[in-house]
Amino acid sequence: MGRLSGTRFVMSEGEGRLMKTSASRLSSNPLNRLGSWAIDTVSDLGRMTLFMLQAYRGCVRKPFRLAELLKQIQFIGAGSFLVIFFTAISTGMVLGLQGYYSLSKFGAEGMLGSAVSLTLIMELGPVLTALMVAGRAGSAMCAEIGIMQISEQIDALECMAIDPFRFLISPKFLAMIISMPLLTAFFDLIGIFGGYMSGVTLMGVNPGSYIEGMRTSVTNHDIFLGFVKSLVFAMLVVWICTGRGYLVKQIRGAGFGAESVSRVTTQAVVMSSISVLIFDYLITAILL
Amino acid sequence: MSETAIEFVDISKSFIDREGQAQTVLDAVSFSIPKGKTTVIAGGSGQGKSVTLKLILGLLRPDSGAILVDGTDVTKLRRKKLEEMRTRFGVLFQGAALFDSMSVFDNVALPLRERTRQGEDEIGERVMRWLAQLGLDGHEEKFPAQLSGGMRKRVGLARALQLDPEIILFDEPTTGLDPVMTHEIYELFARTQQQIGFTSVIVSHDIPGVFKLADEVIILDKGKTDVFSSVEEISTSSKPHIRDFMQKTMGEINRHHLVQ
């Protein structure tokens, strides 16, 4: 028994190593290493792009999996309510205090409503929601798909002629794209309420000027900017998190088995968080 | 000579390893698998047994050569046709590859729900019949993690049989099972094959146990294949690498040697 399972392990590991088609070279020459790094990076990007295209194509392939989509919205959206609530209320309350402190130096406490709401709607709402969702739902999706990949469950789907994208990945894409803007709107609302609590209730800002300042300064364009951000972040987070899990066997240096899944999950959360921050700047620079 | 189900024509496949060296797994290999029979593909670790299965299913593409399934070259098929082709196969994976988040019943019902237009009543009846036949009645509500290794294999077999496949591929069906379970699984294979008449291809390193089932044995060694129509033929083969293989897998262990 022991010997049999031992042999099996060696075999699957050996095969896994052979499966790696990446152009990694264990060379001491820095130029060679740079070259092999470049080849690995470009082929990885190519695989990720192909993955994304297949996932979007899966969204329009029939039969449509409504039950799975609802389950995913429940997990990504409804399941994130509590964590989004606490992040939003504390962010809003801190913004209220901090804003009051800064604005009162100029005697402009009346501007608190517009300061808090603009910061939340255009900036903190979309970014913090995306970061929280990447940490909570993104990591879970990545690990789930990674485990399905290494235990041949995805191969099994293909062998049954079931498209793994339509079946597994695309519902997650759609659910994320639907949930993220809604969660962001929820974040904004709770955040503005938090700012009201600390600014108006605790520090004594005039409630009328808090609401009125918000009403006059927030334009449709600001809300549109926040919406575009949350949509782009949703696409980034779901793409990176599911993609890293799906490609777990092809990522250089990820290792094998359970370790490879834990590594790509960490990598997915870090990569999606960083790309959210980068794209936040880019979108602001382009659309503002 | 019986009809051919699958034919490999000059198939080569190599992979690039971490050091950047090309490793040839299959080197211009040709063989055919007869219809309605049991063919065992045996060989040591890392000799390309699983790769052979993946090539048949079109999960991997060969570097050169053709793989004919009923005369159609699967290496040239586009995605849509490949999907159609795959519905003719049933596959039992090494670790059974059951979906952990679904119950036993849902696992077995999945191919029927996704690939056929049968109603839920019809599916339920069929699935329960198969589960009973494979000794799994009463376990349909359980999840794969709650099952023993042998039971998982049986669920995998039930799932593989749902679309009435013409060809069943077994990847290491008895790895991790005790000898009693192994025997039971082999008996189950033989029985279901008699009943349905599919072509079965078994990849295994359970030598000589798996020979009990084989009509034909293909031995993979260093990128080359040797085909034998009976176990006696293997044991009396004069080819040095086959003798060496048999010695390594079935020969006696020199305990005196080990002590030294």
Q: In terms of Cα–Cα distance, which of A186, A189, A188, A200 is closest to A112?
A: A200
Contact status, residue A112 vs residue A195, Cβ threshold 8 Å: yes
- For chain B, which residues make up each domain, given as ranges? 4-88+165-259
pLDDT over 90 at A84, yes or no: yes
| Tokens at B176, concatenated | 């991790």
Nearest CA in chain B to A167: B114
CB A133 within 8 A of CB A177: no
Q: Which residues of A touch B63 (CB under 8 A)?
A: none
Average pLDDT, chain A: 88
Tell which A residues from 160 to 179 touch B, by Cβ distance under 8 Å: 160-163, 167
Identity of the amino acid at A260: S
Mean pLDDT of B97-123: 91
pLDDT at B256: 65
H-helix segments, A105-206: 112-119, 125-133, 139-150, 153-159, 164, 170-196
A–B interface: beta-carbon pairs under 8 A: 93
In angstroms, the separation between the Cα of residue B93 and the nearest Cα of chain A is 8
What confidence tens digit (pLDDT) does each residue in B50-61 have?
889 889 988 888
Quick one: CA dihedral B203, B207, B213, B215, positive or negative?
A: positive
Tokens at A277, concatenated: 């921050």
**CA B200 centroid distance within chain:** 7
pLDDT one-digit tens code per residue, B191-229: 888 888 899 999 987 777 788 888 888 888 887 888 888
- What pLDDT was estimated at residue A12? 39
Other residues' Cβ atoms within 10 Å of the Cβ of residue B114: 17
> pLDDT band at A9, cuts 50/70/90?
very low
Distance CA A110, CA B85 (A): 70
**Phi, psi (rounded to 5 degrees) for A199:** -70, -50
Question: Is A4's CB within 8 Å of B176's CB?
Answer: yes
Distance CA B84, CA A256 (A): 32
For the four alpha carbons of A31, A36, A39 and A44, in that order, the dihedral sign comes to negative
Residues in chain B: 260
A53 touches chain B (CB under 8 A): no
CA distances from B201 to A7, B67, B206 (A): 21, 15, 14
Most A CBs within 10 Å: which of B15, B106, B159, B170, as the mutation test of the A interface? Answer: B15
* Contact assessment for residue B1 and residue B32, using Cβ atoms and an 8 Å cutoff: no
Which superfamily does B4-88+165-259 belong to? P-loop containing nucleotide triphosphate hydrolases (3.40.50.300)
Q: For strands B199-204 and B167-171, give the pairing.
A: parallel
Tens-place pLDDT, residues B8-21: 999 999 887 666 67
pLDDT of residue A231: 97
Arithmetic mean of pLDDT over chain B:
85
CA distances from A119 to A111, A195, B57, B62 (A): 12, 11, 54, 56
pLDDT at B45 over 70: yes
As beta bridge partners, residue B218 has: B41, B227
A6 pLDDT more than 60: no
pLDDT surpasses 80 at A19: no
Strands B72-73 and B64-69: what pairing? antiparallel
Determine, for residues A8 and B172 on separate chains, whether the beta-carbon distance falls below 8 Å: yes
Type of residue at A228: V
> Which range in A54-63, A233-242, B28-37 is most confidently predicted, on average pLDDT?
A233-242
Residue A128 has phi, psi (to 5 degrees) of -65, -35
Least confidently predicted of A77-91, A132-146, B6-20, B105-119: B6-20
Q: In this model, does residue A208 exceed pLDDT 90?
A: yes
**pLDDT at residue A2 is higher than 50:** no
**Partners of A281 in the β-ladder:** none
pLDDT of residue A148: 94
**Alpha-carbon span A195 to B122, nearest angstrom:** 58
Half-sphere exposure of B178 (CA within 13 A, CB side): 3
Q: What is the mean pLDDT of residues B105-120?
A: 91
pLDDT tens, residue by residue, A165-204: 999 999 999 999 999 999 999 999 999 999 999 999 999 9
According to DSSP, the β-strands at B89-92 and B167-171 are: parallel
When pLDDT is cut at 50, 70 and 90, the band that residue B243 belongs to is confident
**What torsion do the CA atoms of A28, A31, A35, A41 make, to the nearest 10 degrees?**
80
* A158 has a chain B CB within 8 A of its CB: yes
A-chain residues near B47 (CB < 8 A):
none
Three-class DSSP labels, B151-191: HHHHHHHHHHHCCCCCEEEEECCCCCCCHHHHHHHHHHHHH
Residue A3's contacts (CB-CB under 8 Å, 6 or more residues apart) are none
CB contact under 8 A, B111 and A162: yes
Report helix, strand or coil for B93: coil
pLDDT category at B87 given cuts 50, 70, 90 is confident
Alpha-carbon dihedral sign for residues B49, B55, B58, B63: positive
Q: Does A51 touch chain B (CB under 8 A)?
A: no
Work out the percent of chain B whose per-residue pLDDT is above 70. 93
